[in-house]
Structure 1
Amino acid sequence: ELFQVGQEVEVVVLDFNENEERISLGYKQLTPDPWLSVPQKYQPGTKVTGKVVSLTDFGAFIELEKGVEGLIHISDLTWSKKMVHPKKVLSVGQEVTVQVLEVNVENHRISLGLKQATPHPLELFAQKYNVGSRLKGRVTNLTDFGAFVLVDKDIEGLIHISDISWEKIKHPSEKLKVGQEVEVVLLNIDLEKQKVSLGLKQLEGDIWEDFFHRQKVGDVLKVKIARLVDFGIFVEIMPGIEGVVFNSELDENKIENPAEVFKVGEERLAKIIKMNPANRKISLSFRQAQADLQKKEFQKYLETQSDRLTLGDLLREQFKNLSSKDNSKKEGHHD
């Protein structure tokens, strides 16, 4: 490509071996070594243009200038998590803009990135969608801590298990399956950590806010015992909303071993005695609910008894009136 037979060229003598009668010549040495200026010209982070000179299974070699080539490793071709063969992205002779990642002058190596020369898809995603937006996607994977959902090209978000349902679930598979099409709410975009947080339960609105709006301290509700702990009992008020009944509010009498009296899954009446909307905490009382119930039953009994007494009194009055009339008639007859 450079020389023809009979062509006269200028060269540089590199070595002379008198014993073997050999002379080593160099042609490229006529010009300065381009690698001497590489550290100044190709600093990490800079974007440069080059030409694709060869493609391999592990990447693409890019000629930046005569005598200087760099390598785009296969992992730096695209932002996709799946490895894509260089031949599907580039072609020999193609001019490309790349970003310098690392320079090793001693070994004449330059690491280049093709994907780094373009904005990260997440940056474009953040420009396109705002927190709170509703998105449609497909479930790609389920783990113990949540579900991954593909919501845009090369953009996967995580629905943490706590954001799948207002109900407590042990595994995402209770509500979702791989391949399922779902609508989700965008909760957060972390550009630094390159993470997208999604929510499924948020589609239903905030059930806590609705609960605090509807209920008030003093209300008596039917609850289900969820679990027993050292300081009391957690109860499910409704799917997704729990409250606590402290040991002092279990019964009028002190209960040494609550597990002998209360069973998980059992339904009971409980009175709301404290609500903290800011921290989403609800305190209830079995003791006060039972006391209120007894008061109502006693009041109802008194009202019933009062009605009976009043009726009896009326009958007695009528009987007295009748007796008085009879006596008067008898006295008149004697006269």
Structure 2
Amino acid sequence: MSTELSVPTTEDFAALLDETLGEAERFDGKVVTGTIIGLDKEAAIVDIGLKAEGRIPLKEFALPGQTPELNVGDTVEVFVDRVENARGEAQLSREKARREEAWVQLEKSYENEERVKGVIFGRVKGGFTVDLNGAVAFLPGSQVDIRPIRDVTPLMNIEQPFQILKMDRKRGNIVVSRRAILEETRAEQRAELIEGLSEGAVVEGVVKNITDYGAFVDLGGIDGLLHVTDISWKRINHPSEVLNIGDTIKVQIIRLNPETQRISLGMKQLQEDPWSNIEAKYPVGSKLTGRITNITDYGAFVELEDGIEGLVHVSEMSWVKKNVHPGKIVSTSQEVEVMVLEIEPEKRRISLGLKQCMDNPWTTFAATHPVGTEIEGEIKNITEFGLFVGLEGDVDGMVHMSDLDWNKSGEEAIAEYKKGDVVKAVVLDIDVDKERISLGIKQLGGDPMASSSLRKGSTVTCTVTAVTDNGLEVTVGEDDQAMEAFIRRSDLSRDRSEQRPERFSVGDKVDALVTNMDKKSRKIGLSIKQLEISEEKEAVAQYGSSDSGASLGDILGAALAEGKEDDK
């Protein structure tokens, strides 16, 4: 029996080749399991079956900065880029295989908000690159740590946890954060630390940071705020006056909020409150020496001791300097003597007086210049109601416009003075409590009305000073004793036809009867008409009456004739 051998045809070879290559092409772009069949200094030779072998650089088998641990016979997952030729030589990648595996796992971690492990291995613009077991992620510079870090080198090539913030598999983008992990860990630590703290407890901490409003103190993993007002009982303008970064200090927990994890600290609470028993220490009326610490528009603060400050109000700074800024009276750091005026312990307020420790110039003036004393001074100011005159001791006295002249109106009299004039006056009244000195200029010559011999019913000779439609303005008396008066039109004559002011001229001398003398209102009533009636009555009484048969003309003529004889 003969055996016939079949010789493969060209079609058979083509089919066999297609079968072999077709099966190989099914591996392209996929992750398969291979076996390490050889190792050299640079690469590992991996068999993926189907007579396909490939070389993979050793660095792809280890994390950045680490040495790969491989042995012949080990099985590994690799990514088949492509089978290059019919001989089965394959282009393999362990890195791509790890990346594919990593993406699947990372997506699960991202969905479950779980932490992932990674290694920072490079720098890029705006941040760093992180190897997440084969997948490369971006770590923004702001997400490296809670606080800015100058040197990130110690954190590189070390496996550590990260939080995935964002990922997009289509674009191959992953953004991670190390800061989120630290904040979460810190929050857990803070919660544990806060559980061990309580309000009122005294703890030790390190000054971590200093700001204008206080200092942050590290209490061993959790920070508390020491406000500037709680550092010391005395006034502090800036925390750096007392504290330095790195100082170890003892503080008391004033307030503790577990929900917000905010802690308020105090240093002064560990010292005795200087305001305790303050009233016994500084009784009202006592004089003390202090230092000016602050000057405001309304006064100056004086430090009596550490933690005790009192206010000298601007009104209590000087006896004579009114409406002046406190900075023009005292200066910061100046040592001054003050008197305690009032204490309010519950409000932590002490009212002090500066002027009370000086001689009161008003009291001194009252003692050396009693009422009636004549003084001389310069006019400092002129107001609508009088003159202010500078006196000894830097005090001012006021001459009211009504005390300028006995006869002139206030407006007329005040118009005769100007600022800077030196005038003489008489002290009329002194009110030390109200700090007022009343002066008078017209009182220097005495009241002409008070010294006048004029009486109601007496006859006077007047001088016409002005002619008006309503009557005559006249003066009675001479020089500084002259007094002003007014004769009404109806009082110019008994005869109505003669009651015409225009028949008189300025400078005329006229006789009139005093009809009224009111010293309070300083008014003198004069009447020519009443003088004529009075003279008529007197003539009738002396020379007869109309009943005797003589006419009124005869009687007046006889009276006048006798008057002429008497004049001779």
TM-score range, shorter chain: 0.5 to 0.7
- TM-fit CA distance, 1:233: 6.7
Would the aligned equivalents of 2:460 and 2:476 in 1 still touch at CA under 8 Å? no
**How is 1:19-98 mapped onto 2 (pairs within 5 angstroms)?**
25-38=265-278, 46-56=285-295, 58=297, 59-79=299-319, 80-83=321-324, 85-86=326-327, 88-90=329-331, 92=333, 94-98=335-339
**How is 1:36-185 mapped onto 2 (pairs within 5 angstroms)?**
36-38=276-278, 46-56=285-295, 58=297, 59-79=299-319, 80-83=321-324, 85-86=326-327, 88-90=329-331, 92=333, 94-101=335-342, 103=344, 105-106=346-347, 108-118=348-358, 120-169=360-409, 170-185=411-426
- TM-fit CA distance, 1:135: 0.5
Would the aligned equivalents of 1:135 and 1:186 in 2 still touch at CA under 8 Å? yes
**2: CA distance between counterparts of 1:97 and 1:286?**
70
**1: CA distance between counterparts of 2:262 and 2:255?**
8
Corresponding residue number in structure 2 for 1:237:
476
Q: Write out per-residue CA displacement over residues 230-255 of structure 1, whole angstroms, 9 at most, x where no aligned residue.
A: 9x876432475234557774422357
- TM-fit CA distance, 1:91: 5.7
**In terms of Rg, which structure is larger?**
2
- TM-fit CA distance, 1:188: 1.0
Corresponding residue number in structure 1 for 2:144:
none
Q: Report the CA distance shift for 1:262/1:74 in structure 2 as closer, same or farther (over 3 A).
A: farther
Counterpart code for 1:132: G
- TM-fit CA distance, 1:276: 4.5
Counterpart code for 2:317: L
Q: Is 1:224 the equivalent of 2:464?
A: yes
Of the candidates 422, 430, 437, which is equivalent to residue 189 of structure 1?
430
Corresponding residue number in structure 1 for 2:560:
298
Corresponding residue number in structure 1 for 2:527:
285
Would the aligned equivalents of 1:147 and 1:172 in 2 still touch at CA under 8 Å? no
Q: Percent of counterpart pairs with the same letter?
A: 30
**1: CA distance between counterparts of 2:255 and 2:276?**
22
Where structure 1 has 5 or more consecutive residues not aligned to the other structure, the ranges are: 308-335
Q: Is 1:251 the equivalent of 2:513?
A: no
**2: CA distance between counterparts of 1:7 and 1:14?**
20
Would the aligned equivalents of 1:185 and 1:198 in 2 still touch at CA under 8 Å? yes
Q: Report the CA distance shift for 1:27/1:259 in structure 2 as closer, same or farther (over 3 A).
A: farther
**2: CA distance between counterparts of 1:183 and 1:173?**
14
- TM-fit CA distance, 1:208: 2.2
**2: CA distance between counterparts of 1:287 and 1:296?**
21
Would the aligned equivalents of 1:233 and 1:246 in 2 still touch at CA under 8 Å? yes
Q: Write out per-residue CA displacement over residues 234-292 of structure 1, whole angstroms, 9 at most, x where no aligned residue.
A: 6432475234557774422357x967668895745133445648655544321254575
Count of aligned positions: 300
Q: Report the CA distance shift for 1:7/1:123 in structure 2 as closer, same or farther (over 3 A).
A: same
TM-score under structure 2 length normalisation: 0.43
Would the aligned equivalents of 2:462 and 2:474 in 1 still touch at CA under 8 Å? no
Would the aligned equivalents of 1:223 and 1:267 in 2 still touch at CA under 8 Å? yes
Judge which range, 79-88 or 127-136, deviates more: 79-88
Q: Report the CA distance shift for 1:57/1:15 in structure 2 as closer, same or farther (over 3 A).
A: closer
Would the aligned equivalents of 2:449 and 2:519 in 1 still touch at CA under 8 Å? no
**1: CA distance between counterparts of 2:394 and 2:563?**
70
Judge which range, 3-12 or 26-35, deviates more: 3-12
- TM-fit CA distance, 1:209: 3.4
**1: CA distance between counterparts of 2:394 and 2:469?**
45
Would the aligned equivalents of 1:144 and 1:171 in 2 still touch at CA under 8 Å? no
Would the aligned equivalents of 1:60 and 1:72 in 2 still touch at CA under 8 Å? yes
Of the candidates 440, 444, 467, which is equivalent to residue 203 of structure 1?
444
Q: Report the CA distance shift for 1:178/1:95 in structure 2 as closer, same or farther (over 3 A).
A: closer
- TM-fit CA distance, 1:86: 3.4
Would the aligned equivalents of 1:99 and 1:117 in 2 still touch at CA under 8 Å? no
Would the aligned equivalents of 1:164 and 1:172 in 2 still touch at CA under 8 Å? yes
Local SS of the residue matching 1:34: coil
Q: Report the CA distance shift for 1:248/1:145 in structure 2 as closer, same or farther (over 3 A).
A: same
Corresponding residue number in structure 2 for 1:329:
none
